[in-house]
Structure 1
């Protein structure tokens, strides 16, 4: 896959295509768009971008911490894209970062509020394609792999038949949803229809919000941050209850594809070895999803899925309370794998009580995710490629 250098004017035009399947589009532009500063869209050089950050900060349109975060992100993104060795990489950096900065500035000028269920914003600006254009240059497709790609085709068939699908997965970076879509670009149905259960941090951080706006999200408060502010605990719990009800309503309608990381946050490396591994699952979160599937009134299936992409946008070494984490960016290989569905009854037949069954089912899903992750790690980090395939995980590169 070659890098995608997108014309800035066309990427923000009100007539961007909204739905590839139907050809629908819109020429509607909001008042905030019409009055929005063109500082970054008019940028043609690195100097234009960096001076633009300073200009907007001095004018009071960018808070100092956001401005410094944008500048830091620029240098990290530039270093990552240039390290890819792709032709015209410098143009890609200017083009992609000017649009990203423009969206971040607009988000500060006119803050976007996410509903419990957020549908990807495709018009008048296509945030879905914006995210793809931005993340694509960070993926080393030559050293990226998909495990059991044929199962994703099976998922599409089931969803079109009205079945519900839940993907129980680990979570590595803010780029996870885009990585899933890009590695399955030959099967666009998955990327367009997946609904990601997302923590509040990706919908509140000004540097992250434009990327979140391009995804279908079910917004929740992570357990890891539930008690950060004791005064907000009750509000967060009520918000999570609303989101849970939203998921239940969606599943009753059938044909839903939901991705959730029941660890409650991103994976972190082992502090002593530095090795990354999938964070343990919270069995209560797994059980909540299982019961939603079983009580939806429509056929449902739960599949274990594994992701390896932390090098694209690694999280801070430790869980941080404050919004505004330092964003590192890298050019690296990525991996995605899925295993056959795991039925609750198949792994809990010998359990003596509901709690034991709940733990056993969660552990079975985690074990599968961990097994797939080990194979992806061998293929990508240890550069063994397709040879890392096993009888249970067949690696391929669907884009070739």
Structure 2
């Protein structure tokens, strides 16, 4: 009786028969088989890497897999052709086979990436300077932080910074929500912000709008997500963080493509040059201004960074608590010099926190006093206590009235600093870029509407308290008169801005020096942005 072979024997026999058959296979066919093995191995490595880092950029993943599969398919087709025609080629050493595979795989990868419309190498070379500078490793001068920067702030979140498409960005938001690392309401606001920002950039008519949106929004989402994971705590006086990650440049790059420089205006630019001289002499400068949007600091800095770069980067903004608590706004605030205060408009939102807010404001006033005593400081403040709102009936925008007490407190700090101080009225018009909600809201996380539009700033000559109030009979009257004088001057400059920007005069209305600098911006926009 013949003994039936065991399963182990069958397997052994099958292995030896396959081995014998493959040994008889011509070397050139073995080389083709190596292509298939290389392709599968490369695809597995790519999938494994993405699984480890927790990021699956769709286009990158798709192009990598398709190129590997394509290489394998070509190898199989070549083998079929060799068998069919019984062709013989020169035997290739494994090293040559591997080199051929890598070359074929790379060519397919680049072709597929280009076909998918996400060719990052070309995209970065043709994107705007503003977008590209976001990723610069260059360290910018004159910066210090309020506290040591953690490793997470230096690094990036793979969920967003590696994104190669809109789908990658939005999928990254959803994935973090499912992982429990991103609150749903923040995720909703991020998605809303993306679409609004995208619409505004495309509204500009820029031929590279898609690249600009992707470059700026993935960095913005990266910073916002990191701010949620490890919330940054602002001190009463916060100095702009410019290294190791340059939050200042990040904010500039983000707002830059939203400004229509052809219809933007800077008034009385010679007065800004006068301010720079005063600052170099150790004197202080105070800008009493209206307030229109969260983009005000970036707009001011962008309109002045060519003519008055020192002012552009050195301004200290008196900021409300909302811009340092809203996760979508915090990364932009981290790139500005801030004196953090609680606005009177929101002082009583939560009765239990009123005392805490008042103590915090007292600490900020002490910090401001110390800064003014050191001299060479330029501080921006909006005595209205919040952003301008349109008239509910006419829908016309105009500077909100100043709070005389807040302005008088500022004036007293300047007078008692022991350093010469100058107070200038400043008007800003930029509400179309990022308008505030129609009414003041208690909740953090407002809806952010965004558009591409002209902007403007205009400064008036400084107003002396002594001259403006020389005929006043009491301190209270003097306080009111001085506040009104500054407000009237701001309104006058605001009317100039409305005529220049909304009247579509733009560059033609700007003062000569500034007109040349804004024209340079326009040329830059035309060539790159």
TM-score range, shorter chain: over 0.9
Q: Give the aligned partner of residue 64 of structure 1.
A: 184
Q: Give the aligned partner of residue 383 of structure 1.
A: 504
Q: Give ranges in structure 2 of 5+ residues lacking alignment.
A: 1-126, 520-529
Look up the SS of the partner of 1:152 in the other structure.
Answer: helix
How many angstroms apart in 2 are the aligned matches of 1:35 and 1:4?
22
Cα distance change, pair 221–41 in 1 and its aligned pair in 2 (3 A): same
Alignment of 1:228 with 2:349, yes or no, is yes
Match for residue 399 of structure 1 among 499, 508, 518: 518
Give runs of aligned pairs for residues 348-363 of structure 1, distance below 5 A: 348-363=469-484
Residues 204-233 of structure 1: per-residue CA shift (max 9 Å, x gap): 000000000000000000000001011101
Cα distance change, pair 77–156 in 1 and its aligned pair in 2 (3 A): same
Match for residue 6 of structure 1 among 112, 131, 142: 131
Cα distance change, pair 387–56 in 1 and its aligned pair in 2 (3 A): same
Q: Which ranges of 4 or more aligned residues in structure 1 deviate by more than 6 Å?
A: none
Alignment of 1:109 with 2:234, yes or no, is no
Residues 206-264 of structure 1: per-residue CA shift (max 9 Å, x gap): 00000000000000000000010111011101100110010001101111100000000
Give runs of aligned pairs for residues 184-333 of structure 1, distance below 5 A: 184-186=304-306, 187-333=308-454
Q: Give the aligned partner of residue 264 of structure 2.
A: 144
Cα distance change, pair 376–323 in 1 and its aligned pair in 2 (3 A): same
Q: Give the aligned partner of residue 18 of structure 1.
A: 140
Q: Is the 8 A contact 1:164 1:251 kept in 2?
A: yes
Look up the SS of the partner of 2:447 in the other structure.
Answer: coil
How many angstroms apart in 2 are the aligned matches of 1:394 and 1:40?
41
How many angstroms apart in 2 are the aligned matches of 1:295 and 1:145?
35
Q: Is the 8 A contact 1:144 1:397 kept in 2?
A: no
Cα distance change, pair 387–4 in 1 and its aligned pair in 2 (3 A): closer
Cα distance change, pair 217–318 in 1 and its aligned pair in 2 (3 A): same
How many angstroms apart in 1 are the aligned matches of 2:128 and 2:206?
7
Q: Give the aligned partner of residue 125 of structure 1.
A: 245
Look up the SS of the partner of 2:518 in the other structure.
Answer: coil
Look up the SS of the partner of 1:91 in the other structure.
Answer: helix
How many angstroms apart in 1 are the aligned matches of 2:513 and 2:389?
26
Look up the SS of the partner of 1:369 in the other structure.
Answer: helix
Bigger share in helix: 2
Q: CA RMSD in A?
A: 2.1
Match for residue 158 of structure 1 among 278, 295, 300: 278
Cα distance change, pair 397–368 in 1 and its aligned pair in 2 (3 A): farther
Look up the SS of the partner of 2:254 in the other structure.
Answer: helix
How many angstroms apart in 2 are the aligned matches of 1:34 and 1:387?
43
Residues 259-281 of structure 1: per-residue CA shift (max 9 Å, x gap): 00000000000000000000000
Match for residue 288 of structure 2 among 164, 168, 172: 168
TM-score (norm 2): 0.71
Look up the SS of the partner of 1:340 in the other structure.
Answer: coil
Q: Give ranges in structure 1 of 5+ residues lacking alignment.
A: none
What is the deviation of 1:3? Answer: 4.3
Count of residues in correspondence between the two structures: 389
How many angstroms apart in 1 are the aligned matches of 2:361 and 2:496?
34
